[in-house]
Structure 1
Amino acid sequence: MSTYFTDREYGVRPATIDSINERLWGGLFSLIQTRIGDGSFGLRFPEQCPDGNGPCGCDVQAFSRVLSAEVPWIEWPFSVNEVPDTPVILDLLEFCAGAVGEPIQGAYHSYFGHHHLSWDRDAGLVRFVADVNLLFRRNAVAYELTSTGQARRLVPQPISDALGWAMFQTGDMETDRLLEAARQRFLSPKPDDRQDALEKLWDAFERLKTLEPGANKRAQADALLDRVAAPGSGFREALGREAAELTSIGNSFRIRHSETTQEALTSLDQVDYLFTRMFAFVRVILKGTGRGG
């Protein structure tokens, strides 16, 4: 964890920024270049001593060729002045995390002026993850690398807790599948996954309306809400208004369908707001009807 003065005195900045800017890219660029230079990525891409005495560094050509195949949107060589798209940078960091190890110097080879190397995988990964996450925290970016080197998005703690502890036991396998897929995709750092999470959550909401007995969908939806709050109560009326409003939002915006009459969402903030609003409503329904939550 950072021990910088501003963190100690004022607290860590809230992680609210969704994109990696030129300044942060410059720091990440330097972390990666340093590890190429000190041989850390030789764990996966070892450069062999010309005398055949074992690895002595990182084979940069092998590193770049495999990187270009596994992350085809990245430009090699990197330029500190050209910032890749944020999802591409996160793919790059995962690639690097999968290749990194702490280089351990062995015998010195005086003729070529290098040491032969071995690698401590665990120590190298821990240090790389810590260095990347420090830069993310100091720049208030809402991403982190996990201990296994996977990138994930950070969401505000109350939302994270609600998502992490929610149970989906609706009695309908497809509804449970949609809710679980929505949860996992919402935490993804990729914008397309978050849009997909919103769609799946809205699909789950529409299926929830049909889980109670009734002559038609409207009667089934009313029966569902009647189980959450007493019919005629103020809260039951509020639930009815919210259900109607959420249904209208789903029909008006490009969430589940793509008709030309539907308005597209124009920012990830809008996606996050609608997901959080719908998830709060769905969770109340699940808890109120004994279906998890």
Structure 2
Amino acid sequence: MNNITGITKRDIFDLFFKGLNIDILWDTQKIIYPYYGRLSELEFLKRLYPLEQMPSSDPRFMNAEGDIWQHTVNNDDYPFCWIFDDDRFPLKNGNDEDFLRFLCEIFHPIVRNEEKDWFSFLKKLNELLRNDGYELYSYQQISNRDIYNWRIYTDKQSPIFVPFSERHKKDILQKKISLSIKLKAREQIFQVLNKYNFTYQETDETGWNYNMTVGDCVFSELRQFYELKCYNDQGEYIPTANMKDFVCKNSPFKVFDIIESFSHHYEDKFISEINTILSLNEIPFYLSKEEGIVSSYDLKLDGKIISSIHEIGLKELLQESQSYFDKNQKNIAVEKIWDAFERLKTYYSPTLDKKKSCIKIISNISHNNVDYEEIFNQEFQELTNIGNRFRIRHHEIGKIEIIDPNYYDYLYHRCLSLIILSIKYL
């Protein structure tokens, strides 16, 4: 794919070459952040490219590694940010995936310099990338530090926040959702909330500055939906303004409410800590940045699965299908997931033709076990037959109509399940 324009690439190159202006109190300061972070240029580039196999632009050296060492270490006579104009590297004229992979590596914990303002560069870089439909995001951590990957970006308006207990009120009343959170887990959750309950300054209409905590803001947000209450020692449900009592002496669904509201103020680390507590206490839900608290039983494409896909077309189709499914446009989601399934079958092309590519995928996921090969071969064939016989794609005619909207749920999750399993063994 080549959605990233030359204009965006130029602006990103300029960001690292010319630096970034940031406001500090009443002054503006220009900061420079080298793309190779705390490493040398040679160390950084060796993480991405087989330099010993790439050509040298200096006839005295056999390969790019010797050439770059000579001109960035021994003599240091290459101009700053020379790589952006070097055609040996797929940056200026390469495809989106190669370019995004380079950008993600800049912010890897091993590379980035924590003593420099790398995060401001990441924010600015994302502003530029989003114009062309991509963004970098934290998808996992190492040593409590974020690792970044890229994903398709769609400019969606932030939905109005509705707490978990209000969104699922009907299902809760009908006992379709059951939940219990033990006191130990509640106290752990409170500790995390209290840790992130920072004080900050707000300004009123008259220009007066006043202090406010995140907890104050969260309680104000929840009061739009109900009066804040908790149980006292006599079992009475009474008003409260105490965050610990609200968490420890309340309905478990109200605990989810306050977690979700807090998550609007923080992202990766807060979400990670909450999910660790939920997992350790075997609470079958997790906190999602986009969707709030969701059931662990919902089959979803998580960041780790997406990041492991190296074929850009497959990655885009899966992200599109998930987006349509989340927006309840399930007929389009099924169409996209079937397109992704067909794309998956050609994963090892052009090295292998489509049939041999399928055989290799099935062999991978079955661990060469004959019984499991039979199961997965049959499932691949069944899904292929469904795609051929039924009107999965809206533009196709002369095929069996999907007569019940509930069938889309079944078809989507059946196909997604096989794709997720396959991706784990590509």
Q: Which has the higher contact order (CA 8 A, sep 6+)?
A: 1
TM-score bucket of the superposed structures, by smaller chain: 0.3 to 0.5
Q: Which has the higher helix share?
A: 1
TM-score, with structure 1 as normaliser: 0.46
TM-score, with structure 2 as normaliser: 0.33
